[in-house]
Amino acid sequence: MKTVTLFELNNLVREVISSTLSEEYWVEAELSEVHEVRGHCYMELIQKELFSNTPVAKASAKCWKNKWTLLREKFEKVTREGLKPGMKVLLKVYADFHEAYGFAWIVTDINPEFTMGDMARKRQEIIDTLKREGVFELQKELVLPLFAQRIAVISSENAAGYGDFCHQLADNPQQLKFYTRLFPAVMQGEGVEESVIGALNSINENIEKFDAMVIIRGGGATSDLSGFDTLRLAENVANFPIPIITGIGHDRDESIVDMVAHTKVKTPTAAAALLIDHLNHVLERLLDAQAELIAAVRHRSELEQARLVRMSEKIPMLFSLVKTRQEQRIERHLTNITASLNDKLSREHHRLSLIENQLSPTLLQQMTKENYRLQLLQQRLEALNPQRLLQRGYSITLCKGKVVKDSRQLKAGDEIETKLANGKITSIIQ
């Protein structure tokens, strides 16, 4: 049996591939992995079933450094994005088989317009979903509070844009006071969505401490804005309960997060300027209202002063008139009261006379009866007088001031006192 070495077999495969697949092909695929190594770009291509995530084909692709440098610049200039997993791409490739490294498709060109169209389609799908859910305009319905001074900030902690934002607020010409708190987040790359949503959740836990929120991203490549074009992040921003101001892009760029936010500005300093202008406008309104109030009070004070002067001039005359009327009124009342009292007294006097005439015989009879009863009572009291008993020869014995009625009340040594008609006798019980 004839055998061949692996190298010989692979070399045979290479010759077959080079002779049968000598042309270049435009291929549509999705990137599952992409990374650069020493200037070369290595890609993993995948094709999925329609309406499913099940892979039906996979392949590796490479773009060498000399070609990749030009293609990357071309791609990012059109799409304003870098190649990343999940992108649909249209690549011009040719087959290459190396005895030591195996098979790969070698990329010689890339069509950025194809990817741009796919990105636009996905972006529009997200926008349509947000509108269908009824959340696309929710932030626009919120009102930025008049005194928006407590500001939550989502930004990279070391970003120059965050520093510019804080300095702009602190050094405003009107010396308006703002209070900011940073919630750090990743602002570029694949971690944007999770990081910013985490910061939003942290702010929401302390929502009563803030009047508004800003999402700012100073500097950075335009291609790094893709993290702000995801459905999940856009839904979180759209449903947030306080107004959100975004300053994450450039003049010509508008992310989906920008679209659903309350207000979109170009830069972090523009976000600070918006807050300063808003609060300064409120201050101007307050100052105008203060001036109007002072003018109104002054005018009313002048009117009331003039009214008081006119009233003070009328008071003496009015007082004299009122005094005369009241004196007359009091005199009439006094006359009426006197007449009423005299009439009342006359009637009561006559009534008393009638009662006296009716009571006199009855009273005399009752008094005679009661006088006789009193005489009888007096005779009884006289008969019961202890002194009369003593004069008849009786005596009264006392012990400690109490009348002794029973000899058993006494004991040896007790001192007793015996009262007689004339005098008393003191004795000691043996």
pLDDT of residue 249: 65
- The rounded distance, in Å, linking the Cα atoms of 322 and 304 is 24
Calculate the CA 194 to chain-centre distance: 27
* Total domain count, the chain: 3
Tokens in use for 397? 């014995």
Q: What is the mean pLDDT of the chain?
A: 84
Q: Do 109 and 235 have their domain in common?
A: no
Domain boundary among 251, 279, 307: 279
Residues 249 and 197 in one domain: yes
Cα–Cα distance for residue pair 423/420, rounded to 1 Å? 6
5-36 in b/e form (b: 16+ CB < 10 A) is eeeeebeeebeeeeeeeeebeebebbbeebee
pLDDT at 213: 95
How far CA 297 is from CA of 22, 57, 291, 302, 308, in Å, comes to 94, 83, 10, 9, 16
Range of the domain at 208: 134-279
Rounded CA separation 214/161 (Å) = 12
| Same domain assignment for residues 239 and 138 | yes
Please tell me the predicted confidence (pLDDT) of residue 252: 57
Three-state secondary structure string covering the chain: CCCCCHHHHHHHHHHHHHHHCCCCEEEEEEEEEEEEECCEEEEEEEEECCCCCCEEEEEEEEECHHHHHHHHHHHHHHHCCCCCCCCEEEEEEEEEEECCCEEEEEEEEECHHHHHHHHHHHHHHHHHHHHHCCCCCCHHHCCCCCCCCEEEEEECCCCHHHHHHHHHHHCCCCCCCCEEEEEECCCCCCCHHHHHHHHHHHHHHCHHHCCEEEEECCCCCHHHHHHHCCHHHHHHHHCCCCCEEEECCCCCCCCHHHHHCCEECCCHHHHHHHHHHHHHHHHHHHHHHHHHHHHHHHHHHHHHHHHHHHHHHHHHHHHHHHHHHHHHHHHHHHHHHHHHHHHHHHHHHHHHHHHHHHHHHHHHHHHHHHHHHHHHHHHHHHHCCHHHHHHCCCCEEEECCEECCCHHHCCCCCEEEEECCCCEEEEECC
Residue type, 423: G
Answer yes or no: do 103 and 184 share one domain.
Answer: no
pLDDT in tens, 205-238: 999 999 999 999 865 555 567 778 888 999 999 9
Tens-digit pLDDT string for the chain (430 aa) = 778 777 777 778 777 777 777 788 898 888 888 889 999 999 999 888 776 677 888 888 999 999 999 988 888 888 777 888 878 888 888 888 887 778 888 898 998 888 776 767 777 788 888 889 998 899 999 999 999 999 999 998 888 888 889 999 999 988 999 999 999 998 887 788 899 999 999 999 999 999 999 999 865 555 567 778 888 999 999 999 999 999 886 555 678 898 899 999 988 999 999 999 999 999 889 888 898 999 899 989 888 888 888 887 777 777 777 788 888 888 888 888 888 888 888 888 888 888 777 766 777 778 888 888 888 888 777 766 777 767 777 777 888 778 777 777 788 888 888 877 788 888 887 7
Domain boundary among 279, 303, 319: 279
Does 69 share its domain with 200? no
**Spatial separation of the C-alpha atoms in residues 85 and 42, rounded to whole Å:** 12
Tens-place pLDDT, residues 320-362: 777 888 888 888 888 888 888 888 888 888 888 887 777 667 7
The reply to whether 145 and 246 lie within a common domain is: yes
Q: Does any domain span residue 13?
A: yes
In a domain, 40, yes or no: yes
Evaluate whether residue 404 is within a structural domain.
Answer: yes
The reply to whether 140 and 264 lie within a common domain is: yes
Among 279, 297, 320, the domain-final residue is: 279
Same domain flag for 82 and 178: no
pLDDT given for residue 312 in this prediction: 77
Answer yes or no: are the C-beta atoms of 86 and 31 closer than 8 Å: yes
- For residues 91 and 226, state if they share a domain: no
Domain of 178, CATH number, reads 3.40.50.2300
Q: What pLDDT was estimated at residue 319?
A: 76
Residues 149 and 246 in one domain: yes
CA separation, residue 382 to residues 21, 116, 194, 378 (Å): 164, 142, 122, 6
Give the pLDDT confidence score for residue 219 in this predicted structure: 58
State the Cα–Cα distance between residues 155 and 4, nearest whole angstrom: 62
Same domain, 140 and 258: yes
Q: Are residues 175 and 222 in the same domain?
A: yes
Task: Specify if 324 maps to a domain.
Answer: no
The verdict on residue 18 lying in a domain is yes
Question: Which is nearest to 14 in space by CA: 108, 94, 91?
Answer: 94
Task: Look up the CATH number of the domain holding residue 51.
Answer: 2.40.50.140
In order of 276, 288, 416, 426, 428, the CA distances from 421 in angstroms are: 121, 115, 17, 15, 21
Please check whether residue 310 lies inside any domain of the structure: no
Q: In this predicted structure, what is the pLDDT of residue 361?
A: 72
pTM: 0.54
Handedness of CA 94, 118, 36, 58 (dihedral sign): negative
